[in-house]
Amino acid sequence: MSTSKFKNSDKFLKNMVESASPMQLVIMLYDGAIQWLNIAKQELKKNKESKLPNWSEFSHQMKMAHEIVNHLQESLDFKHSEDIADRLFALYDFMKSNLIKANAFKDEEKINQVIALLKDLKTHWQDVIKQNNAV
């Protein structure tokens, strides 16, 4: 791929992020974590098929998803809704723990649990955005 294609892609992503609302950014982060985890699962699939998995790449994907979840946790706003923030904090802690275990033990079920939680949270955020736009 040529360098100009990367530059155009970088510009597109930069514009997307800069024009997104805070709620849309959260959804983008959920999408990013889900994408990293699905790529990691591809390495597990290679292992099941007796192909040579790239465990370094697997760990990188897991680390990227973990960093996103950690960022989401660190970005929680306890001032506006302490109860919701507390619950999300605990949920993100659970996800991070599962990601660490999944990385160490190559556990697809733990990855799937985190993906399911991320998808559920993403759906709830999308519903909130729809409700806010309807008002």
Do 91 and 117 touch, CB atoms closer than 8 A?
yes
Residue 81 CA to residue 100 CA, distance in Å, equals 28
pLDDT at 2: 52
pLDDT at 62: 98
Residue 128 CA to residue 126 CA, distance in Å, equals 5
Per-residue pLDDT of the chain (135 residues; tens, 9 = 90+): 455 555 666 776 666 777 789 899 999 999 999 999 999 999 999 988 988 889 999 999 999 999 999 999 999 999 989 999 999 999 999 999 999 999 999 999 999 999 999 999 999 999 999 998 887
Do 9 and 1 touch, CB atoms closer than 8 A?
no
Residue 109 CA to residue 71 CA, distance in Å, equals 23
pLDDT at 9: 66
Please tell me the CATH superfamily of domain 22-134, with its number.
Flagellar protein FliS (1.20.120.340)
* Closest alpha carbon to 53 in 74, 39, 69: 39
Q: Is 113 exposed, middle or buried (CB count within 10 Å of its CB: 0-12, 13-18, 19+)?
A: middle
Sequence-distant (6+) residues with CB within 8 A of 31 are 122
Residue 88 CA to residue 23 CA, distance in Å, equals 15
pLDDT at 97: 98
Three-state DSSP at 80 gives coil
Q: In the block, which residue shows the tokens 């709830």? A: 124
